[in-house]
Structure 1
Amino acid sequence: GSLVIMTVVSGRMKQHIVEFGSDCLYVQMGDEVLDAAHAILSGKNIDCTYLLENDNDIAESILRAVGEQDCDGIVLGSRGMGVLEGLFRNSVSSVIAENANVPVTIVK
């Protein structure tokens, strides 16, 4: 099997660096997540794809990538909001759990 390691940053967490026509490159504060995953998984003989997305709708970005990458499941972290707070604030994990077409595992 293979893994898709993904992190999504929203607009407030990016800094614009260079623009190429309609495409932009960004310094992402979330880079360290992918770097840490790469350090842990390198040399383990596991096929990995690393995705860094910039999108204000984090849940939608993850769901879109799941379809594009043909993933069989999703494992994601929870920020630890309570059930009521998560419902009122549309937590990413609850939106993904409700809308994913594949099994979802939420790690607290």
Structure 2
Amino acid sequence: MHKLLLAVDGSAAAHRAVQYVVALAAVFPSIEVVLLNVQPEIDDWSVLRVLTREEVEAMEESRAGDVLREERAVLQAAGVRFTPLVEIGAPAACITRVAAEHNCDGIVMGSRGMGAVSAALLGSVSSEVLQSSDLPLTLIR
């Protein structure tokens, strides 16, 4: 594996996924990482009626920057080469698309650890990525 997409969402599981990639990079120093945070599109009418589309996009980008800040610091401290990236939209679709666009060899992401019933009713991003991508997927709990 030479290039990994590392999807983070601010959760503890995502932070453990970053730690996993740091450990992997210690063994395989040539690894490159695409550090991705996907923000849901803001579609609340009470927000959209008072803010311009550009202001809403700036809010979405700002939230993503907050999520990426800690993870960027961890990767930088470990000397891991990475490219931070923010996408706005449906998480699973964005993860799958970005991994393909950046010619990634695999995807690493945290799993929130929903039970089988919750996952069946609500679905999960990791389940959707597993079904929609042909790349190896490593889930960290």
After superposition, the C-alpha distances for 1:28-51 in whole angstroms (9 at most, x for unaligned) are 323233111111122533220101
Structure 1 counterpart SS, 2:114: coil
1:46 to 80, 87, 102: 80
Aligned to 1:9: 39
Q: Where do residues 25-64 of structure 1 align in structure 2 (5 Å cutoff)?
A: 25-27=58-60, 28-55=62-89, 57-64=90-97
Q: Alignment RMSD, CA only?
A: 2.6
| Structure 2 gap ranges (5+) | 1-30
After superposition, the C-alpha distances for 1:51-98 in whole angstroms (9 at most, x for unaligned) are 11111x110011000001111111111222112211221210101112
Contact 2:75 2:81 in 1 (8 A): no
Aligned to 1:91: 124
Deviates more, 1:46-55 or 1:8-17: 8-17
TM-score (norm: length of structure 1): 0.80
Q: Which of 1 and 2 has higher RCO (CA within 8 Å, sep 6+)?
A: 2
Normalized per residue, which structure has more strand?
A: 1
TM-score (norm: length of structure 2): 0.63
User: Aligned residues, how many?
Assistant: 104
Normalized per residue, which structure has more helix?
A: 2
Alpha-carbon distance change, 25 to 12 in structure 1, aligned in 2, over 3 angstroms? closer
